Amino acid sequence: MGEIQGNTDKWFFKINPSFKFLIIDALFIVYLVVSNLNTMIWAACLFLILYLAVNGFSARLSFWLIILTLWVSVFSSTAMIFFGQGTHVLFRWYLVVISEESLARGTLIGLRTFIFSLLGLIMASTSRPVPFFYSLMQQLRVPVKYAYGCLAAFRMLPMMAEEFVHIRQAMKVRGLRQKGIKAMYERIKRYALAMLAQSIRRAQRTAVAMEAKRFSMTESRTYYYEIGWSRMDLLFSGVIVAVVIGGFLLSGWFPLTPYTHVIDH
């Protein structure tokens, strides 16, 4: 994660990770019940601006993540747009029926997906793994064995990716890169068996090491990193509240569509 996050000096990295996690989870609930299409449009614009301003990813990676998010959002809305019910039909072609109502509902679902994705990107791009898990243990009282277990698993992901590359190179050297459906099936089976065996060995060694370090103890323990609170947490709360309220206010001042309650249409 440290290699992906290029700029970790931005102030969103200084926020308490658990507090950030809880606030973003609360935002999921807020926008899950919003049915005003104008509010969702303005909220999507404001959170996009916020993400571009605070994320720690490189400009190129941020661009492709936004493109991927847009693509997923459009894809999530197509089922409702093409096959939803409505009285004001705009387009009909066999089973595909697009109406004003289905278009509004589908757009609402797409915008909801886009906002949820942006919130997840804000969390992922401005949080370092080690402080996040330490904060879970210290602020949210997550048991040490679970938090360190998740952290150890997270650390294994780059190792598994490197191991996959080594297996692929070894198979290529040995001439096991034939084409065809049967060859593809055999190749997938070789990858799966090799990586599964290595993962079991690595997990066993990690479990023994954690047990030797007494990570299963239930008594309170000291931490190398102490995660606390700062003024940045208060500033973060103010920014999020301003963005949320701004989305509601702009939807009333500058409505872009007539759909203020999509469920009723």
Q: How many of the other CB atoms lie within 10 Å of CB of 135? A: 23
Q: Could you tell me the CA-to-CA distances from 63 to 40, 48, 51 in Å, in that order?
A: 21, 11, 11
Q: Could you tell me the CA-to-CA distances from 192 to 11, 162, 163, 186, 188 in Å, in that order?
A: 42, 14, 12, 10, 6
pLDDT per position in the chain (265 positions), as tens? Answer: 545 555 566 778 888 899 999 999 999 999 998 888 999 999 999 999 999 988 878 888 888 999 999 999 998 888 777 776 767 776 677 777 777 777 888 888 999 999 999 999 999 888 888 888 888 888 888 877 777 777 777 777 777 778 888 877 877 777 666 676 777 777 778 788 888 888 788 878 877 777 766 666 656 667 667 788 888 889 999 999 999 999 999 998 998 888 777 764 4
CA atoms of 128 and 135, how far apart (whole Å): 11
User: Amino acid letter at 81?
Assistant: I
Q: Is 89 helix (H, G, I), strand (E, B) or coil?
A: strand
CA atoms of 91 and 103, how far apart (whole Å): 11
Instruction: Tell me the domain boundaries of the chain.
Output: 2-132+229-253, 142-212
Q: Which of 117, 122, 65 is nearest to 239 (CA)?
A: 122
Q: Is 62 helix (H, G, I), strand (E, B) or coil?
A: helix
